[in-house]
Amino acid sequence: RLKPFSRLQVILQHVKMSEHTDLTAEVLLEKRGGAGIITLNRPKALNALNFSMIQQIYPQIKTWEQDPETFLIIIKGTGGKAFCAGGDIRAITDAGKVGDRLAEDFFRGEYALNNAIGTCKKPYVALIDGITMGGGVGLSVHGRFRVATEKTLFAMPETAIGLFPDVGGGYFLPRLPGKIGYYLALTGFRLKGRDVLKAGIATHFVESEKLPALEKDLIALKSPSTENIVDLLNSYHVKSKVDQEKEFILDEHMEKINSLFSANSMEEIVKNLKQDGSPFAIKQLEIISKMSPTSLKITLRQLREGASMSLQDVLTMEYRLSQACMRGHDFYEGVRAVLIDKDQSPRWKPASLEEVSDEFVDNCFKPLGNNDLKL
């Protein structure tokens, strides 16, 4: 048995360690006032979401949801550059290559977390300051409030790495005005600042430097109702004048986006763009031609089907697609070309849309039996 003195030393050592790890923790979870606060804390990795972060955030949201003293949940990122630039793609790639469980567990955990946010009974406020892509969109877009700033940079760039806009993209993208969601999903187009609000992705716009004050005011609310939170967010939103006069960046192209991207197949979309021949259409053709043909076909069907599904059914469908991508070729090749070797010239297999058969796409959407995602 430990002598009393050494036992105390062990305890002190432990206390010291936990104090130390808290500052270096990948995600900080704290209760301040009536608010539960989630801080993504991997600034060097642009707050990319990894598996251990998912495992910490999910149970905390569930706990706060049950706690009568927690009235709202705030999520934000550290470092000033990003809210969350995406999921930990490198780790998933390494796992998928060797058939490691992480390639299943990560997506399972991430989609369960997306669903927890989408069904959260407490008002959920995401401060999407800086880069917000892929997995970062999943951590914010399904919540009740999304506050963009002039530094917000939104994109779903997955078709460029042989994936598809997951994390519930099949739910929220087809529900954006017109065919904006289809356009964003297929081309990976980046929206900045107030345009994230105008596209219907953010609910509010507040200057970046005002976020600490907004957070303080949210924390200070006494037993607030959702209406109180709305009023506070609105008051900040109304005062924000940055880029107020600028028109939505896609405004001049909306008519074309709505007509060209409403086709039933990728081949038709490409045909539409070729026939249109405008500078805008030619540019989109160029962008689409660089994307994984398999990803493009999966994505178009994902959005068309997701448009009339519940969030839970969309996430179940997307889990099937994620596992199809883990079994396939293009995801590993896309990650190699974009993130590892950075030569930006992926060699897709199949290399053309025509070679991606309907039968292959159908297979990606097939149920996984006992391995299906259960929400």
Torsion angles phi and psi, residue 296, rounded to 5 = -60, -45
Catalytically annotated residue among 34, 135, 138, 328: 135
Residue with tokens 């190699």: 336
Nearest CA-CA partner of 125 in 241, 244, 237, 248: 237
The DSSP H or E segment spanning 153 is: strand 153-155
Residue with tokens 């530094």: 151
Strands of the sheet containing 35-40, edge to edge, are 27-32, 35-40, 72-77, 124-128, 145-148, 204-205
Provide the sign of the torsion angle of the four alpha carbons 336, 338, 339, 341, taken in this order. positive
Is 96 marked active-site?
no
Catalytically annotated residue among 158, 215, 318, 330: 158
Is 245 marked active-site?
no
Q: CA 74, CA 53: separation in Å to the nearest integer? A: 16
Catalytically annotated residue among 104, 110, 129, 166: 166
Catalytically annotated residue among 34, 77, 86, 87: 87
Is 87 marked active-site?
yes
Is 215 marked active-site?
no
Residue with tokens 């406020």: 125
> For residue 259, how far is the Cα from the chain centroid?
27
Q: Annotated catalytic sites, by residue?
A: 87, 135, 158, 166
